[in-house]
């Protein structure tokens, strides 16, 4: 085996982060497009234009979400089990909303009835907006700690409720998530559609970009001044057999800033988030949508890594029993499991990137109303 256990634990923290970023940049774009569908498309032809910009790609993009879920299950099984216990109804809500996407994409245009198509347009809106909001709310609750504990057999027990997840800070985090993904989708539509949809999309890039900048800044101030963080005080050696009950954790003010003060280079992440958002808005306004899409992707990466760097090594902190918090060093699978998964990832991630790049290259064009009008046989 090439890597020792400690290194593998850290590698898998990085890899899960990469998968979440890949999901946000690709499938998050589809969610943003779905969120904007009822507002940017003024008639059925324009809405079909919007759908056809993501229709050939959305299912391939969703591979990132499925892969991230599988990676969490295999690399951090206790996190997977505890999250489904604590966030059960929230996850079901996101899952049920996601059901509208495959059905909406495949069946919307099968019947010409305007009421049928309008209903599926709003279904695609729900399939885009609700998961984006729920995922942000989940991150907001992680930063505050989740009320759970482990028994002597490491079985998780959640003591909170669904409506407790809908606290003000978590809702603000949901706004950040919804705003950044909607902006990302708007940039994509500005790049891939012709007028007048492209100009309308540019307006939404500015609106959602500025709103996300404000929400992200407010969340940072709130997290710094109003929310206590978690800090590991003592634990076994980092390469020891995983034991979530073998450490001491304290809750303290400013604790979420510990990594930023200890490793100042991590400040690049929030700066990247703000800079990417600002550049996306400016480049979109200058009608440089291709560059704006790249800036938007950097913004998503910076925002996600800002939360990840603040929390590391915590994955799921416990607000009621801090010592039971799940962290990157003790919530993992065995060394053999992590090693096998590492090599599987090393093989398949390049394949995913390769076929994703190939499909985007082959289907790259601006979708126009004239094309949709002339080719009624199109699937979407």
Give one DSSP letter per residue of 24-73, joined into a string: HHHHHHHHHHHHHHHHH--SHHHHHHHHHHHTTTHHHHTHHHHHHHHHHH
In this prediction the pTM is 0.93
CA distances to 74, 188, 296, 299 from 25, rounded to whole Å, are 23, 11, 8, 10
Tell me the average confidence (pLDDT) per consecutive run of 10 residues in the chain, 380 residues long: 87 94 93 95 92 88 88 92 86 92 88 91 95 95 93 87 90 97 97 94 97 97 93 89 89 93 95 97 96 97 96 94 93 92 89 86 85 74
Q: How far apart are CA 71 and CA 19, in angstroms?
A: 9
Whose structure tokens read 């999901």?
23
Nearest Cα neighbor of 333 from 151, 83, 77 is 77
Nearest Cα neighbor of 289 from 279, 299, 302 is 279
pLDDT of residue 363: 81
Q: How far apart are CA 255 and CA 232, in angstroms?
A: 10
Neighbouring C-alpha atoms within 13 Å toward the C-beta of 179: 24
Nearest Cα neighbor of 145 from 212, 219, 223, 261 is 223
pLDDT of residue 365: 83
pLDDT of residue 364: 85
């Amino acid at each position: 085996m090439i890597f020792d256990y400690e290194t593998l634990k850290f590698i898998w923290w990085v890899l899960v982060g990469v998968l979440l970023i890949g999901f946000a940049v690709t499938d998050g774009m589809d969610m943003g497009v779905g969120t904007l569908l009822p507002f940017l498309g003024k008639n059925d032809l324009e809405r079909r234009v919007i759908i056809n910009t993501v229709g050939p790609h959305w299912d391939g993009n969703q591979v990132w979400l499925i892969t991230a879920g599988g990676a969490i299950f295999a690399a951090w099984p206790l996190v997977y089990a505890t999250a489904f216990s604590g966030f059960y109804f929230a996850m079901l809500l996101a899952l049920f909303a996601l059901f509208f996407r495959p059905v909406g994409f495949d069946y919307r245009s099968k019947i010409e009835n305007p009421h049928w198509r309008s209903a599926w347009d709003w279904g695609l809106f729900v399939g885009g907006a609700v998961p984006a909001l729920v995922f942000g709310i989940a991150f907001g609750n992680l930063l505050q700690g989740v009320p759970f504990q482990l028994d002597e057999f490491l079985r998780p027990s959640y003591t909170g409720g669904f409506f407790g997840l809908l606290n003000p800070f978590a809702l603000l985090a949901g706004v950040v998530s919804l705003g950044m993904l909607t902006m990302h989708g708007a940039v994509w539509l500005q790049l891939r559609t012709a007028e007048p949809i492209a100009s309308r999309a540019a307006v939404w890039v500015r609106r959602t970009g500025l709103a996300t900048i404000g929400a992200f800044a407010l969340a940072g101030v709130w997290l710094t001044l109003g929310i206590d963080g978690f800090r590991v005080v003592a634990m076994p050696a980092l390469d020891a057999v995983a034991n979530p009950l073998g450490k001491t954790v304290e809750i303290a003010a400013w604790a979420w800033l510990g990594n930023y003060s200890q490793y100042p280079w991590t400040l690049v992440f929030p700066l990247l988030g703000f800079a990417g958002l600002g550049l996306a808005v400016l480049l979109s306004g200058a009608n440089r949508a291709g560059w704006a899409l790249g800036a938007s992707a950097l913004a998503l990466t910076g925002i996600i890594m800002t939360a990840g760097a603040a929390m590391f090594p915590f994955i799921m902190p416990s607000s009621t029993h801090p010592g039971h918090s799940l962290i990157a060093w003790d919530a993992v699978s065995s060394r053999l499991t992590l090693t096998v998964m590492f090599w599987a990832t090393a093989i398949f991630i390049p394949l995913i990137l390769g076929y994703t790049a190939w499909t985007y290259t082959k289907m790259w064009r601006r979708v126009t109303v004239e094309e949709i009008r002339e080719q009624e046989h199109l699937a979407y």
